[in-house]
Chains A and B, each alone.
Chain A
Amino acid sequence: MSEEKVATAIPRPSLSLDTWAVITSFVLALLVRVGALKHIPW
């Protein structure tokens, strides 16, 4: 067998929607905690 190298495209393991939602929420919570987001009005 030759040492020929073949490039194959494989998808990187992706995060689930739930995990993205948790990460985004925690980043927002961190920004609120450190004062980068001072007041979110409603």
Chain B
Amino acid sequence: MATIALPSQEAQNPFASVARLVPGVLLLAAIGFGGKVLEQSINGYAKVHHLVIPNIEYVLWAIAIGLLVANTVTIPQVFLPGIATYEFWLKAGIVLLGARFVVGDVLKLGGISITLVILEISGSLVLMTLLGKWFKLKPKLTSLLALGSAVCGVSAIIAAKGAIDADDEDSSFAIAAILALGAIALVFFPLIGHALHLSDNAYGLWSGLAVDNTAEATAAGALFSDAAGKVAVLAKTTRNATIGFVVLGYAIYWASRGQAEKVTNKAAFLWNKFPKFVLGFLAISLLVSVNVFNKGQVESLANLSRWAFLLTFAGVGLRTNFREMSKQGARPFIVGALGEVLIAGLTLGLVVGANAIWKL
């Protein structure tokens, strides 16, 4: 019997797929732009009336409006596919952010980041594994929490879920804990950074190393300053690049215990898990370094990156639903919170040490 393959209905209708995203993307844009307008209006009002008020960045406004919407009204179904694109805007924003780094910066800060990332990952994995054992969490839930806090939050948990054959409930617990802790970090990291008078580079490195999810790490950096946001993305991207190696280690461990499938092709596994946007970021940075773009064009690319991040920050607020998170139970959250506080302290120590050695 011969068979002929037909493309599926969905694949035949890409316009319908894109059209589904429009309402949610418009909502992200409206909230993000609303945050920017609020910042400018308040600053303008303060200037005209000679008032001294603290500058609240558009980042915080966008997240706060998103949080308010997500936690006070039920968002209609029609907006959900578009809201989920915030991760796409995050990654596009990171690729375009490459325009703000010449290769020399990437090599210098990236080199420091790699050293600190190796120390951070090792320390976080050990710490979360010990805490998971002490609090008697299920071993695979402990693995997911360790991966989420050591590498890159939700992406690492999703990547590891299939590789170590974890169940849906454990993944939901781990994701909820990481997201809740990311939301808390948005409040405390800038406050601590300012209290300790950290430089933009030192603070950016710290938030890139300690905040788990890429969107929250980017937002935590940008809440301190634009320059710190840039460095936070670089440090976080370095962490993201290790995802394949760490998940592979866990997959091999669980397969050796007969509780996950064996990894037959390790190179293909690493390539599949590698975040491709890191390559895009490096490519744009390289093109800028060899003067493919003039000064005005580099500024335009940097601004495109800022617009993409604006949509991301609105999405961070919109997808943080405290009611849903509270349904996940307290124990994984307590383990996560304890671990995160210790990891934040460890990474702060690393950054202060690096600052003393390399004068960040």
Contact = CB atoms under 8 A, between A and B. Distances in A.
A25 to B, nearest CB: 4
Contact of A9 (B7, B283, B292, B297): B7
Given A18-B91, A18-B275, A5 B96 contact: no
B88 A9 contact: no
Contacts of B304: 28, 32, 40
Contacts of A18: 91, 275-277
A9 B12 CA distance: 11
Contacts of B297: 32-33
Interface residues of B, number: 38
B277 A11 contact: no
Given A18-B275, A21-B88, A33 B293 contact: yes
A38 to B, nearest CB: 8
A29 B301 contact: yes
B284 A25 contact: yes
A9 B243 CA distance: 34
Contacts of B306: 42
Contacts of A38: 300
Nearest to A10: B5
A3 B3 CA distance: 9
Contacts of A21: 88, 91-92, 94-95, 277, 280
Interface in A1-42: 1-12, 14, 16-22, 24-26, 28-29, 32-33, 37-42
Per CB-CB distance, the 10 closest pairs between chain A and chain B, nearest first, are A21-B91, A22-B280, A25-B95, A18-B276, A40-B300, A42-B303, A40-B303, A21-B92, A12-B11, A9-B8
Interface of A: 1-12, 14, 16-22, 24-26, 28-29, 32-33, 37-42
Interface of B: 1-11, 87-88, 91-92, 94-96, 99, 275-277, 279-280, 283-284, 287, 292-293, 296-297, 299-301, 303-304, 306-307
